[in-house]
Every structure is written in C-alpha cells, then in structure tokens.
Amino acid sequence: MRKIDHINIALQDKTLSTSLDEYRMEYNSIPLFGLDDVDTSTTICGYKWQYPFFINAITAGGDECNKINKDFEEVCGEMGIEFFPGSYSPALKNEADKISYPKYRSVNLGLDKNIHQIIEAIDTTNAKYLQLHMNPLQEMIMPEGDRNFETWLENLQNANEKINIPIILKETGFGTGKSVFELAIKLDKVMAVDVSGKDGTNFAKIENGRSSSPSPYLEEIGYTTAQSLEIAKNYRKNLDIIASGGIRNSLDVIKVLALGAKAAGVSRNFLEILLSSGKEGLKKEIKKWQKEIKYLMILCHAKNIDELYGRITKIKK
C-alpha cells in the first residue's frame, strides 16, 4: 500500500520548472558533422551503455508494482536502454516479490540493510551493479520509516569490503552534497554517485501527504539537481556522476551531461507515460529522445558525451 501511495502522490505533482531551466546550451548555427558521426554511448562503472539515459529506480513489491517493473524491463530490453528497478527490500520478506524482481543487471537496497541481506540480493538477482539508496529525511518523516541510521556507514563499508560488483550511491530526491562525494572517493567499490536532486519527486512532500502530522517546511532541505552537479564537478574524474531528479526531456539530458554527468536517470516522466499510454507509448517516447539527443549533440558541436562537457551557460538574472 505504501508503494502505491508513493506512486499516486508523485503523479499528482505537476511541477513544470526545474533548476535546469537556469541554464542554456551552446548553440551553433553551422553544424560541423552529421548523424553518422555522433556517438551517444557512455560508460558507467566500466560498462558501456548505448544511450546516456535510463529508467531509474521507481518501485517494487506487490502485484501492481511488479507489473510496472515487468513492463519497464520489456521496454528497456527492446529500446536498448538500461533499467534500474526499485528497492529489493520487499523481496527480502516475500518469496513472490523475490521471484518477480527484475533480473536486469542491477539491484537496489537501502543503506539500512546489512551485508548478509546485500549479498543475498546480489546472489539472487545476479546483478552487475549494486544501487544503494540514501534517504534519511524520507525515513524521518515516513510514519513507518527506519530509524537505525547508526548502522548506515558500517553497512556501506562492509559492502565495499565484501562484494565484488560496483556500487552506485543513489540519493532519493534531496540532492547530494560534498560530504557524500568525499566519502565515495575513499571507497574503491563505489564507482558512481546518482545525485537525485530536488527537482524531481519530493519524498518529503510525499511522506507529508501520508502523515497525520505533516512538517511541510522540511521539504526545503537538500540540493537541486543543478546545485548537486555543480558540487559534483570537483569529483567527476574519480567517480561516474549520474543525474536524476526532474529530467523531463532530451534537452534536460543534454544539459546534465554538459554539467558533468555521464548519464541521466528518468523516473516519474516515463512512469506517467507507461500508465497513460502503455508500453507502446513509452517506446515511442524513448525513441524520440534517442533521436533528439543526436540532433542536440550536433547543435553543440559534440560528437560524443565527453565533448558535451562545459558547453552550457548559466543565465544571469
């Protein structure tokens, strides 16, 4: 029920502007090359992706959520993009959820999970990536939230020492500050950070919507996607930076790549399309993004993702 509440409340939020609107891409009136010269591939944690955007962790557990994941898994397989499923936590408690959890290269768990649970999740899914999500503010506001934060760092350190696949640290909609990057570069298995800025689904707002005693002022805490990427610039040589949080279209993908990300994660936008237009509608939208990203790279004089970096300007107000 909680997962369905999250989806329903998130889809009610019709935020139209984000921090990325404060930036403008470089525009060149005379292109220097054509579509065949453009390489949209990127590399995350040593694995090459054909396109620099993916469907990011949304939900898991229960028949409705498992059906959403199954549809996403099918669409991503056909369209050649990556899919990161939602939390594996329900599968730790329910055999049906364990069977239904997507076997699609990654597994997602919260930092409250101990090393035994982490290893079980990896072994069961045969994952290539471990996505560990960070959501302390959400847990504090959530009526049934976890409160054992004292174990989080130990759990992360144990995972770094005892597993043999790359770790992606992922925020959950509150953005990422300097301290996380400083810690991440000290841990050799942590190869990427997903900044997950405040421009997307606000889980403080969602949990306030579920609470009998809401604290709306807590929704101000955190960093926008753009602010997080500005901080992340100092660490991009040591970590693969992933940008999520309010990615609405192909132009947003190009903007975050120009700000230093190597890939963009999309959640609510693609979920809304799946639920309103089905798998075929989602495939059509993804194909449009794939085409437009190439067009936009031509306008930026960028033949590949690396050449996009820095081809963006913040608008002075």
pLDDT of 3 > 60? The answer is no
Q: Name 241's Cβ contacts closer than 8 Å, sequence gap at least 6.
A: 192, 193, 195, 229, 232, 235, 260, 261, 262
pLDDT of 1 > 60? The answer is no
Q: Which residue has the tokens 């525009």?
A: 27
More confidently predicted of 140 and 95: 95
Which segments of 126-202 does DSSP mark as H helices, in order?
A: 136-141, 152-162, 178-184
By the 8 A CB rule, do 13 and 202 touch? yes
Distance from CA of residue 315 to its chain's centroid? 26
Q: How confident is the prediction for the chain on average, in pLDDT?
A: 92
**Mean pLDDT of the 236-265 span:** 97
Q: For 56, left (φ over 0), alpha (ψ -120 to 50), or beta?
A: beta
Give me the percent of the chain exceeding a pLDDT of 90.
79
157 to each of 39, 69, 104, 187, 230, how far by Cα in Å? 36, 29, 25, 8, 26
By the 8 A CB rule, do 118 and 155 touch? yes
Read off the DSSP letter of residue 29. Answer: S
**Mean pLDDT of the 41-68 span:** 92
The model's pLDDT over 101-120, given as tens digits with 9 standing for 90+, comes to: 998 899 999 999 999 999 99
Read off the DSSP letter of residue 294. Answer: H
Considering only 102-106, 167-171, 224-228, which range has the smallest mean pLDDT? 102-106
Q: Of 4, 104, 73, whose CA–CA distance to 283 is shortest?
A: 73
Q: Which residue has the tokens 């975050």?
A: 256
Give me the percent of the chain exceeding a pLDDT of 70.
95
More confidently predicted of 210 and 91: 91
pLDDT of 6 > 60? The answer is no
Amino acid identity, residue 263?
A
Considering only 145-159, 173-187, 258-272, which range has the smallest mean pLDDT? 145-159
> Alpha-carbon distance 162 to 158, whole Å?
6
Q: Extract the tokens encoding 27.
A: 């525009």
Span between the terminal Cα atoms of the chain, in Å: 44
Which segments of 43-148 does DSSP mark as H helices, in order?
A: 63-79, 89-93, 95-100, 115-125, 136-141
> Alpha-carbon distance 192 to 79, whole Å?
24
Q: What is the signed CA dihedral for 87, 91, 94, 99, rounded to 10 degrees?
A: 130
Q: How confident is the model at residue 7 (pLDDT cuts 50, 70, 90)?
A: low
Confidence (pLDDT) at 111: 96
